[in-house]
Every structure is written in C-alpha cells, then in structure tokens.
Amino acid sequence: MKWVLLVQAVSLCVFAQTRASQMRIVALPGNSPVVTLRLVFTTGSARDPEDKSGLARLTAEMLAGGGSKDLTYKQIVDAFFPMAASVGSQVDMEMTTFSGATHVDNLEAYYKLFRAMLLDPGWREDDFKRLKDSAINSLRVGLRGNNDEELGKEVLLSELYRGTPYGHYSLGAVSALQRITIEDLKQFYKQHYTQSNLIVGIAGGYAPEFLDRLKKDFGALPANDTAPALAIHPPAVEHTHALIVEKNTRSVAYSFGFPIDVKRGDPDYPALLVMQSYFGQHRESGGHLFQRIREIRGINYGDYDYIEYFPRGGNLMEPPPNVARGSQAFQIWIRPAEPPQAAFTLRLAVYELNRLVKEGISQEDFDRTKEFLSKFVNVLTKTKRAELAYAIDSLYYGIPNYNAYIKDALAKLTRDQVNAAIRKHLRTDRLQIVAVTDHAADLKRQIVGAGPSKIEYNSPKPPEILAEDKIVGAFDIGLRPEDVEIVPVEKIFD
Amino acid sequence: MIRSFLLLFCVVMLAVAADPPQKTFPFTYTQEDLPNGLRLVTIPTDSPNLVSVYIVVQTGSRNEVEPGKTGFAHLFEHMMFRGTDKYPPEKFQEILTRAGAASNADTSSDRTTFHTTFSKEDLPAILAMEADRFENLKYPLEAFKTETGAVLGEYNKNSANPGSKLEEVLMDTAFDRHTYKHTTMGFLKDVQDMPNQYDYSIKFFDRYYRPEYTTIIVTGDVDPKQARALVDKSFGDWKRGSYHADIPVEPKQDAPREAHVDWGSPTLPLLAIAYKGPAYTDTAKDTAALDAFATLVFGQNSELYQKLVVREQKLDSLGANAPSSVDPDLFTIRARLKHVEDLPAIRAEILATVQRFQDELVSADKLEAVKKRERYAFTMRLDNSESVAQTVAQFVALRRTPDTIDKLYVQYGQLTPEDLRGMARKYLIESGRTIVSLTGPAPAGASK
C-alpha cells in the first residue's frame, strides 16, 4: 500500500515537470453558498511568437472579455449582471487562468455562459479591436505613463530573460500587438488550449454531478499540445548592468536582481523563502530592507524582495497565485525615492544585500522568521479561492498541499541551511538594475564608481547611522559608465 | 405525507432559488459598549484558526480643520507604528512577526483603520499591544521627522498616476469650505511641511485617538465572550476625550464649475463630471437610489457604456460613484477617453444622459436586476474573516454599527424608477456641478 502511494506521488511529480496527458482536476467541495471555478491552462506568454508578443494574453482576454458564438459580449454582460458575476482572465509566462465565482443559486445559468465563452468563442472583429486597443493603451498609458514601479519590475524581468521565451512582457509590445490578427488568436487557442494543458479547479457547494459535467464538456478540447516542452536558460551576464528608463516623473523607482536556480519544490526553496521574508517580506514593516531604508532613514514608502514572480505588487498585499514559472528570479523592489537621495538609496540597497550574503541571518532572526512563515501561510490561503489556486500551483510544481509543504519544511530547516542557500544563490555582482527617472544622465553620473553619494536628513540620526552612511555612500556597486544604458520610456515595450 | 412534505420542500427550494439571499448581512454578531465609550463588534465567521482585528477611528481627512494641516490623519496612521515605552517599535514588530500577522492601516476622508489578520492564539497578545499604542503612543521628534519622509515617499509613488491629480483638483474645485476639499494624502505643500508639525501631531492624537471615536471589530475564529473579556482588560482604562471637531459646513453651490489639468507626460485624457450629493443615509432612499442610478446609467451594462466603450470604442473606461460619506459628498462620473479630440462630444453626451434621466424613468426590470445584483455582490464579497471585517469597517465609519447594512438594503429593496428620477432631479443639477478634465502633451499617444 505504501509503495503504491509512493508511485502515485512520483508520477504526480513527473506530470508537473513535463506535460500531463489528460486534463487534471482539483476539487475542494464544501458547504459555501459560493461556487468558485478556476481553469488553468499550463500555457501562456512564453508561447508568444517572437514577433507577436502579447498573443497569449490577448487570446485569453478575447475569451473572457468578448462574445461567444451565440451571444454578443453585451448579451453576456447583461446575463451576468443580476448574478454579480463575470469571468476573469490572467496570463503569465506558463499559466493562463480563467476564474469566476457565483452564488450557488445561479450556478446553472452562470456555467452555461462560462462554458460558451471558453469552449465556443465568438471571435468577433469589434471585440478584437476593443481589446487590442485596450492592451495597447494599458502598455502606453497604464504602464509606461502611470506606473513607474510596475514598469521597472517588468523591464527588469524582460532584461533578465532576454533572448528566452520569457524575454518579453506578457502584455506584449505596441508594434507586436498591432501585428496580431484574429487568425493568430484562433491558432493559439487551437494549439494550446488542450486537455493536456488543462487543470480544472472547483470549490464550494456544488453537486458531485456538476464535476462530471465539467469533465465531459472540457473533454471536447483537443487532447494534446504539440509544442515542445519549454526550456528556459537565462543568459549569463559578466558584469552588473543598469538600464535607466527616462520619463517625466517626480521621483526615482528601482528594481534589480538576477535569475535563481530555485523554484517551489526545490530543496533550497524553503531556505530562500525564509531569507526573502527576513530581508523584505512584501508590504510588511518587519523586513530588514524596510527597516534600514524606510524606518530608520525615512527615504521612501517601502522596500521588499522576492524569489518568485509577483506582479501588481503596488496593489496586492499577498502574491497572486497561478503565475507559476519554471524559472524564477531574485528581485529587490525599492519604492520611489526623492532624486537627491536616489543614488544613495541604490547603494544602500546593494550594501544591505552584500551584508546579507556575507553575514547571513542571525539565529534570532531565523527563529522569528520561521515562526512568522509557519503561521502566515494560513493568511495566504484564507479564502476558498486562494486555497484552490494554491492547490493548482502545487500540482504544477509537483509538491503537496502548500501549507503542509511549508510547515513541514520549516520544522526541519536550520539556520545553517538558510545561510548556505544565501551564499549559494545570492550575489552582489552581475546584477541587472532598472531605474525609472526624469534625470537619467544625472543619475548615471551618481551611481557609477564609488561615489560618494550623500544623504541629508531632516532630523538628527544616531552616530552609528551617520558612520554607516559614509560607508554606504562610497559603496561601489560595480557599475562602470559603459554598463549604464539610458532608454527613453517611449522605446520600452514598443 | 412524505410526498407532500417533499413537494413542500421543492417549493421552498424554488422560492430560495428564485430570490436572492434575504438577509443582506448574513452573520450573527455582538455589539457592546464599554463604559469609556469604546465599542466592540464581534462577528464569528467560518475561518478556521484565523482572526481579523480591525480598529476603526472615526477620524480622517474630514477632521483636518486647520489650514496647512491637510494629510495629517494619514500621517498619524503612520505614526501609530512608532511605538510606546512598553512596546518600542522593535518589540511591536517582533510580536506581529511571531504572530505571522498580515498587518497594515489605511486612511480615508472619514476614518483611519488599523487592521491585522493572524492565528487565533495570538489574539490576547495583539489586543494588549493595540490597547497600549492607542493609549500610550510616544515618539521622539526624530522618529516623527523620519516618518514624514515615508509619507512624502507615499505621495511620490502616487504622483506618477494622473488619476490622483484629477481627484485632487476635483475636490479642490468642488468644495469651498468643507474639509472634503482636500484628498486624504493632503496638498503637497502641507506634506512637505509635515516635519515642522511635531507639536500639532501630539495634539491630533490627544483629540481623536479616544475611545468615543473608536470601534474594534473582531471577526473569524473568535468567541464573543473571550473577545469582550480581552478588550475589557486591555482597553478598559482608556480615558474618554472631550474634543469635538467643528467641521465647516459647505455652502450651497450656486453655479457650475470647471477646471483643467495639463499633465506633463503622455496619458489618455480623463474626464470627471461631479455633482454635490447627499450625506450617507440609511433612513431615506437617497444613498441607495444614487448608487442604483450610478450602476444603471453608467455601469458596464448601461446603454451609455455599451455605446461609448463597447460599440463606438471612444472610451476605454466609464463608471460612476455615488457618495457614501459622513457629510454631503460628490456623485462622480469618470471617463477615460482614447482620443483627446472626442473630449467635447463625450462631455456633451454624458451631460445629455444625466439630463435625460431627469425626465425619463429607468426600466423597472433593470432596477430589479440591480437590486438582485447588489445583494449577490455583497454576499459573495464576504467570503473570509478579513473581507467581513473590511466591509463592516466601512459602515462603522458612517454609523458605528453593522446594523446600518441591513437598513441600507431595506431602502434598496424599496426603490422604484420614480425614486431614481427624483434623486436625479434633486442632486444631478447644473448649479451643483463640477467638471474637471486632464490631458497630456499632444499627441495624446492613444492607439488609433
């Protein structure tokens, strides 16, 4: 019996690492009056053709935000209206998610629409034009115009994976979106929306027969995706490099990092998770970077680090699930600093990373962070929706239930393992840095070489901080003038 | 007998299926007042092991009555994390971290909310710590000045978004005397002057961080008796204050107003058309009617949305917000245009639509669909302890009790097409109107 269970566990692993041969199901039945549907296709922007980036995302948006064969988009919106329901889509490199929820009263009516939208898309020209315009405007205005921080993060990732299937933004580029036709969308749908790529997730108070219906209906999709398995090999870099995006803005936002060879399920993942949480837990004030940059020095609004992709961090307090990736990057996010303090702020962040790599974390910080994480996982999965989404990610990564996986791993983890993982996977050389600012040439001059970069405060600081500031100000982050590239914002994702 | 029972059961099931859930706020809760005026609302929900504590102070940018002090309620939200003698910032942080807590705070015009979600065994420790900072907050001048830098940083990260600027100009133009004239972030000049306002910050704390302004909401895996005992123990000694803010009354607007913002970098043109609306009410139909009006006339399945966003594709977003504030606030219609040259036509079309519904009645069927939708949307939102607490916090800021939710939805249930027309005639009038547009440098950079 034990042996059989073991075999099943192994085969689950294999499924996730290569490709499943048939649709997979994650079901969390319960008593809730709300039924949550979450269909994830393990395909996404990494499958965008080189000259048509944005295709995967536009395809999904066309299904979730366009009409079906029998109903126009307006008819769908009208039908959803009294149910307060909709279908949402999310596309990342390796996952395309369709999600929705309905009160169980309306499940039948809701599902009829959901099914038609996903299985019998309408592919109408007017929907296509509207959604394509919206994608182009999101790039030009939503990202480049109004969101310096998200822009910095996405430019960073595109740079880290340049030349690989991850080397572009999932929303695409303006010229690429302009090239995309409805035929491209249909082709993408036909090739990649297959049973082998599909994970069907459902939670809440649905009847058991409903699940059979879902299986049967989505069994009409083509069986297999013929695309070869993805292999992501981020390019090796020899030297720290900075890309400064120049645009009209008040302050300076930074993101920097490098790819790491660790993802959920790998032996060093729990150790790096502890590191991440200690050094800069997202939007929590306890992180080391937050303390050193914001709390002590009052430089900006917050400072965080990541070992997994985390889009929309400006709006989200917790990581969005179902953006699982086969290759992940270590990233530091420094929220906007006033221009006179900007060069110092970058040196301070790299200086702190250097200390982390050299000194590791103390036993006290290790114990505290471990305790935090073992409880915080409950917060991450506080809704049925989140529980379902995490279970789907766990299937992708070939790990057990996420909460159990983290709690078990933390119970066995030691400080030495964390510090060994830090030394093995983190570094301060060969960084990719992205800055978004109005005065690119000035910033370039201030961040190359050993400075010194100065900082002035509006209140007295303790002598140990002032002494540290002198060291930080002269801390060479390894940038030579030839390593700094300035790009006007109009050229980004164009 | 059995058969008729089954039949009856089927009828009941059908009735349930045909109507939306009847009780809008589906949870049983306790509401208790301590002798010092502090209120405790405890709402057990099905959230195994998790508890959310939301502490709502009925103080926001509305309470910033002195000139030059805009943004202070928000600054104070930050200062509350700067420690006490008993729990200096490091110790405060240590307890939160060990509780695995997701903790933060937010400020709006009417309230400041401090919220934490964590494992239930940490409830005593968290409440004790919260009580200590509400009663004994103490920070040195240096920490105050440092925190003002973080607030300026928050202003900076918001300032990249033209929507924030539009809001700032809209409120400033529409209001003359009432403190809704400024946004919660405050005016930049006041934010830059914050480092010099240490003494005022102490005064602000003394005025508003008092039990009579405060409601504690506890949701999740919690026993109301235990919560009451813990709150008595931790917050029982907190002293009632005596300050009442004299919030200026906004004089009646007697002519339409306009403003324009030139934005420095490429953006899609933005348009806001706002009208002076009512204060929140759960005893009359005004709030509910304007909310339904916003959804019916400007929402995703409205005729106007379908025309301008879906068919003609001149807008990439359109929507309206009905006011829901302590004092009379704005009913605002917001549109994002694709092409700057459409601005005059879109503006005219929105105004004509507002005018039209002063004469015409909305369809009764559509109004019924809105009622149904609002109830479903509300029920589906309450799917975890945090969102229950968050939702209740919004209402507590207005009426200090979840009871107002059911009262509001009773008003909603009674709405007729005539009510909506009546409210449009009463509030959406030219003399109470403010229009603000925002455009970037030409060319606008929109997709052709």
What is the value of ipTM here, to two decimals? 0.83
Query: What chain B residue is nearest to A461 in terms of C-alpha separation?
Result: B142
Q: Round to whole Å and give the CA distance between A234 and B158.
A: 33
Distance of CA A333 to the CA centre of its chain: 13
Q: What CATH architecture applies to the domain A241-491?
A: 2-Layer Sandwich (3.30)
* Residue numbers of chain B with a pLDDT score lower than 50: 1-21, 444-448
pTM of the entire predicted model: 0.90
What was the pLDDT predicted at B172? 96
Contacting residues for B434 by C-beta, under 8 A, at least 6 apart: B170, B173, B174, B256, B257, B258, B259, B272, B273, B274, B275, B330
CA atoms within 13 A on the CB side of A342: 29
- A20-218 belongs to CATH 3.20.20.70: no
Cβ separation B50–A126 shorter than 8 A: no
What was the pLDDT predicted at A20? 65
Q: Who among B47, B380, B446 is closest to A34 (CB)?
A: B380
Cβ separation A148–B99 shorter than 8 A: no
- Provide the H-helix boundaries in A219-338: 269-280, 288-289
What was the pLDDT predicted at B9? 33
A20-218 shares its CATH topology with A241-491: yes
pLDDT of chain A, 494 residues: tens digit per residue: 232 222 222 223 223 333 566 899 999 998 888 999 999 999 999 999 999 999 999 999 999 999 999 999 999 999 999 999 999 999 999 999 999 999 999 999 999 999 999 999 999 999 999 999 999 999 998 899 889 999 999 999 999 999 999 999 999 999 999 999 999 999 999 999 999 999 999 999 999 999 999 999 999 999 999 999 999 999 999 999 999 999 989 899 999 999 999 999 999 999 999 999 999 999 988 899 999 999 999 999 999 999 999 999 999 999 999 999 999 999 999 999 999 999 999 999 999 999 999 999 999 999 999 999 999 999 999 888 999 999 999 999 999 999 999 999 999 999 999 999 999 999 999 999 999 999 999 999 999 999 899 999 988 999 999 999 999 999 999 999 999 999 999 999 99
Element (H, E) at A164: none
What was the pLDDT predicted at A7? 27
Interface test with A, best of B50, B313, B376 (most A CBs within 10 A): B376
Domain layout of chain A by residue ranges = 20-218, 241-491
Query: What chain B residue is nearest to A142 in terms of C-alpha separation?
Result: B267
| Fold classification of B30-235 (topology level) | Cytochrome Bc1 Complex; Chain A, domain 1 (3.30.830)
Interface test with B, best of A87, A124, A141, A285 (most B CBs within 10 A): A141
- The single residue listed with the structure tokens 């300050």 is B243
User: Among candidates A342, A361, A351, which has minimal Cα distance to A439?
Assistant: A342
Return the exposure string of A131-168: e unless at least 16 CB atoms fall within 10 Å of the residue's CB, then b.
bbbbbbbbbbbbbbbbbbbbbbbbbbbbbbbeebbbbb
Query: What chain B residue is nearest to A318 in terms of C-alpha separation?
Result: B102
CB pairs A-B closer than 8 Å: 219
What was the pLDDT predicted at A250? 87
What was the pLDDT predicted at B4? 36
Query: Do strands A24-29 and A198-204 pair parallel, antiparallel, or not at all (unpaired)?
Result: parallel
Q: Who among B266, B376, B379 is closest to A140 (CB)?
A: B266
- The single residue listed with the structure tokens 């822009």 is A151
B30-235 shares its CATH topology with B257-439: yes
Cα-Cα-Cα-Cα torsion A159, A164, A169, A174, nearest 10 degrees, comes to: 100
CA atoms within 13 A on the CB side of B140: 10
Cβ separation B100–A375 shorter than 8 A: yes
What was the pLDDT predicted at B266? 83
Cβ separation A136–B447 shorter than 8 A: yes
> Which 8-state DSSP code applies to residue A315?
T
- Residues on chain B touching A376 (C-beta within 8 angstroms): 100-102
- Residues on chain B touching A250 (C-beta within 8 angstroms): 156, 159-160
Burial of B245 (0-12, 13-18, 19+ CB in 10 A): middle
Q: Round to whole Å and give the CA distance between B27 and B382.
A: 10
Q: Who among A101, A141, A382 is closest to B267 (CB)?
A: A141
Residue-wise DSSP of B254-266: -S-EEEEEE-SS-
- Residues on chain B touching A147 (C-beta within 8 angstroms): 160-161
Interface test with B, best of A250, A366, A384, A457 (most B CBs within 10 A): A250
- B257-439 belongs to CATH 3.90.700.10: no
